[in-house]
């Protein structure tokens, strides 16, 4: 009799836990646009719906090891693998991060705590803000990114001139970050990267949808970017990292240059 009561109580608690999670998702979804609209005046240019896309040549995930995973078919345009784990966190195409907010059944995972995703924005823009989001989990948020560096790829003669004129400022900024430039699959291409933001994603905050500003030194250079690389350099301790949402906000350069 006691065993039945314990099982029944456990089932009720589990049901309440699931209901609480779903209610939390619904509340976040309803309030997110209000919060975003009041604090981020520029549009998110990293949305699939707006025409943004991930770029394979800039996208890298750590090799997959261990017995808790299974290999999935390769995406036609990728030369790497994706995975699923026993923890019921589905993993898919890197473009899963290009949505307005984090959703429980949509994310991109990679083994380890380091990886990166390249994003072609819907429009070139003067970048002002970045947002990251993660789903609330019942047990742990250890698979969330912790430290993330956002890079912009220098493109166009005007931007190259601005970069050359400000090389001392940018080199000083890079030295403070003490981190290597992003990886690219095309080793023959000589690319120049500008660090846009160094992000500490705090899972202990009440709101997991968090916003970050671009370095003031970079904004003053008046450089616009069409390709962004989000480089995850650490997570919160899990053996894999789950990336749910990356938002890139800015002022479109159409008609401004």
Give the tens place of pLDDT for each residue, 127-161: 999 999 998 876 679 999 999 999 999 999 999 99
Give the per-residue pLDDT at 3. Answer: 47
Instruction: Provide the pLDDT for residue 179.
Output: 80
Are 121 and 225 contacting, i.e. CB atoms less than 8 angstroms apart?
yes
pLDDT of residue 142: 93
What pLDDT is attached to residue 109? 87
Q: Can you give the pLDDT at residue 54?
A: 94
Reading the block at residue 207, the tokens are: 């709101």
What is the Cα–Cα distance from 107 to 95, expressed in whole angstroms?
A: 9
- CB-based burial, 57-72: b 16+ in 10 Å, e otherwise: ebbbbeebeeeebeee
- Residue 1, pLDDT score: 53
Tens-digit pLDDT profile for residues 205-222: 999 999 999 999 999 999
The low-confidence residues of the chain, meaning pLDDT below 70, are 1-39, 61-91, 138-139, 186-188, 255-257
- pLDDT at site 103: 84
Strand intervals (E) in 14-156 = 53-62, 69-71, 83-85, 108-133, 145-153
243 near 59, Cβ under 8 Å? no
pTM across the whole model = 0.76
Look at residue 195 in the predicted model and tell me its pLDDT. Answer: 96
Contacts 24+ apart (CB under 8 A), 63-70: 63/111, 63/112, 64/110, 64/111, 65/111, 66/111, 66/239, 69/111
Scanning the structure block, which residue is given the tokens 């995703």?
A: 117
């Amino acid at each position: 009799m006691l065993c039945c009561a314990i099982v029944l109580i456990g089932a009720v608690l589990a049901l309440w836990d699931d209901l609480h999670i779903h209610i939390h998702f619904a509340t976040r979804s309803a309030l997110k646009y209000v919060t975003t609209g009041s604090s981020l005046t520029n549009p998110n240019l990293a949305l699939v719906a707006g025409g943004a896309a991930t770029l394979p040549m800039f996208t890298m995930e750590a090799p997959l090891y261990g017995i808790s995973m299974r290999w999935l078919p390769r995406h036609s345009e990728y030369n790497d693998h994706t995975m699923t784990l026993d923890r019921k966190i589905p993993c898919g195409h890197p473009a899963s991060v290009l949505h307005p907010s984090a959703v429980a059944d949509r994310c991109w995972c990679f083994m380890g705590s380091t990886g990166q995703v390249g994003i072609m924005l819907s429009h070139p823009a003067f970048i002002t803000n970045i947002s990251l989001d993660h789903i609330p989990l019942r047990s742990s948020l250890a698979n969330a990114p912790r430290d993330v560096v956002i890079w912009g790829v220098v493109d166009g003669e005007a931007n190259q001139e601005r970069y050359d004129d400000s090389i001392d400022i940018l080199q000083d900024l890079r030295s403070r970050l003490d981190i290597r430039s992003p990886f690219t699959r095309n080793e023959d291409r000589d690319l120049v990267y500008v660090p846009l933001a160094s992000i500490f994603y705090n899972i202990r905050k009440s709101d997991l949808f968090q916003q970050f500003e671009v370095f003031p030194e970079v904004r003053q250079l008046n450089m616009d970017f069409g390709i962004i690389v989000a480089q995850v350099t650490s997570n919160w301790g899990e053996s894999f990292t789950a990336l749910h949402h990356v938002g890139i906000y800015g002022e479109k350069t159409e008609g401004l240059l």
